[in-house]
Amino acid sequence: MRKGKIYFVGIGLTPKHVTLQALEVIKRVDEVYMDSYTSLLVDDGNELAKVLGREVKYLRRTDIEDKSLRDAIKKVDEGLDVAVLVVGDPHIATTHVALINELRMRGYDVEVIPGISIFCAVMTYTGLSSYRFGKPATIVFPKGGVEYGYPYYVIKDNKERGLHTFLLLELDVEKGVFMKINDAIDILLRFEERYREGVLSLDEEAVGIARLGGKDQLICVDRLSRLREIDFGGPPHSLIILAPKLHFVEEESLKVLKSEFRERCSKAP
């Protein structure tokens, strides 16, 4: 029997980021699944199924982690075409790349449809330059009492090279873990206390970002000491540690952001 085709479809950060190509694929396939745990769609509230005009079956963690996507793959074996929706871009998270490679090596016909990723959208919405971002990193909560200090050294390395650092904050939808900017700053400052390499100080300006791309997005540019006090609201949150020097166009962009979000960035939690 002819096997079906499996599409990994990036749908961006909010349902309004869905592309014409993604929509065309979603309308055409036999079944639509959604990875609902590695990331979080902003402004969803069941808007997605409405926008797509299709029923969406939500995959749980185990469906992704054991790399079987049981139901979805079974449908493909039965000759159906299947789409697996992914928040942002399907190739940004390693989980998906590994899965996609595995399926391809097992002979499946897999197509990947790009979506708007936070790695690029963060430049659009802040106006910081794509040429001035170094390696990104993810800040996670300590596990079993052990802190994962790697992001501290990524920031150090980027700063030494005059580059910004984009930091994703831990997010686990099923476990209900959503790191806030406030937590992330506490963790970074603890790293500074421990490693003492002079990488971070409470006085430096950074950019706190909540619900990027959403109707209710909030972008605050302020000193770390101030950002730590702001109520950014619901997830997802992320943070940019700025390069020591800004390009003058970037300075202007931050000035614009400060004025645009002035009122909402002055609220304490």
Contact 177, 170 (CB under 8 A): yes
Contact 6, 84 (CB under 8 A): yes
> What is the Cβ-side half-sphere exposure of residue 107, based on CA atoms within 13 angstroms?
3
If the CB atoms of residues 100 and 230 are measured against its own copies, the closer one turns out to be: 100
Q: Is the alpha carbon torsion for 42, 46, 50, 52 positive or negative?
A: positive
If the CB atoms of residues 171 and 224 are measured against its own copies, the closer one turns out to be: 171
If the CB atoms of residues 50 and 60 are measured against its own copies, the closer one turns out to be: 50
CB of 88 to its own copies, least distance (A): 9
Q: How far is residue 216's CA from residue 181's CA, in Å, rounded to a whole number?
A: 16
If the CB atoms of residues 15 and 224 are measured against its own copies, the closer one turns out to be: 15
Q: How far is residue 181's CA from residue 81's CA, in Å, rounded to a whole number?
A: 40
CB of 170 to its own copies, least distance (A): 15
Please name which of 235, 217, 176, 232 lies closest in space to residue 17, comparing C-alpha atoms.
217
If the CB atoms of residues 133 and 232 are measured against its own copies, the closer one turns out to be: 133
Three-state DSSP class for residue 209: strand
CB of 261 to its own copies, least distance (A): 13
CB of 76 to its own copies, least distance (A): 17
If the CB atoms of residues 186 and 197 are measured against its own copies, the closer one turns out to be: 197
Tokens of 30: 């036999």
Q: How far is residue 34's CA from residue 228's CA, in Å, rounded to a whole number?
A: 34
Q: How far is residue 103's CA from residue 106's CA, in Å, rounded to a whole number?
A: 5
- Residue ranges binding its own copies (CB under 8 A): 10, 12, 14-21, 23-24, 51, 89-92, 94, 97-98, 100-102, 104-105, 112, 114-117, 119-121, 123-127, 129-137, 157, 161, 163, 213, 247, 249-250, 252-253, 255-256
Q: How far is residue 150's CA from residue 103's CA, in Å, rounded to a whole number?
A: 31
CB of 215 to its own copies, least distance (A): 11
